[in-house]
Amino acid sequence: MSQVVFITGATSGFGQAAAHCFAKAGWSVIITGRREERLQQLAAQLALRAPVHYAVLDVRDETAVKAVVAELPTGFKQVTSLVNNAGLALSPLPAQKVDLADWHTMIDTNVTGLVNVTHALLPTLLDTGEGASIINLGSIAGQWPYPGSHVYGASKAFVKQFSYNLRCDLLGTGVRVTDLAPGIAETEFTLVRTKGDQSASDKLYNGTTPLTAEDIAEQIFYIATLPAHICINRLEVMPTRQAWSPFAVDRDE
């Protein structure tokens, strides 16, 4: 049976790098995302190495998710691994200064979108059985709070607990579930979060050595290709040059 991976948010960052990683290994690759031009370009690159199918998809749209899964062509229907990568952070300002619409967008994408895709593909993954994987992209923000994380961190905490709970429900089916939680990584993440502020992105990564999209893609592929009897429940990956900070204390001046 050929190995088939379904990747959300494949138009940039971890998703794009993961698509290259799986294609290099000869997997059949399904790439989805909202930006069709980027999907077409990526599909053309991947097709030089492996079978590829792309679908324009906004994971927030339940009906669209169901349609994409139902219409997968022959050779791509039996998904072996799901990589729930689509997600974003917005508004790094304090909670009291954030536009409510940005909170809703993060919840709709990071939580509702994750649930939509997982639910739609569960029957297929259960049919695949032993060795199938659901790899959910969380974040260290789901475990460790920091100023400006508000709904983003809360949504990634949902990813963590949802992954754990899925593991309980899927016990005995052979389907594995992992919460992969990266630390600081240099992708388009900060550009999206700051609505295109390149200087803010440069400042975040300047003078240190962050993770790369390829670093996380390698971890995704590693998890998906472990022997069927091994499941990593949660994998937290940080660059060596990142660690935790002391508790903040408000003091009288």
DSSP one-letter code for 8? S
Distance between CA atoms of 92 and 89, rounded to whole angstroms? 8
Distance between CA atoms of 144 and 244, rounded to whole angstroms? 8
Task: Please confirm, yes or no, whether 146 is among the known catalytic residues.
Answer: no
In the numeric block, which tokens belong to residue 92? 């790094």
**Under 8 Å between Cβ of 6 and 55:** no
Give the three-class secondary structure for 218: helix
Query: Which residue among the candidates 54, 146, 152, 222 is catalytic per the annotation?
Result: 152
Give the three-class secondary structure for 33: strand
Q: How far is CA 63 from CA 20, 162, 191, in A?
A: 28, 22, 29
List, by residue number, the catalytic residues: 152
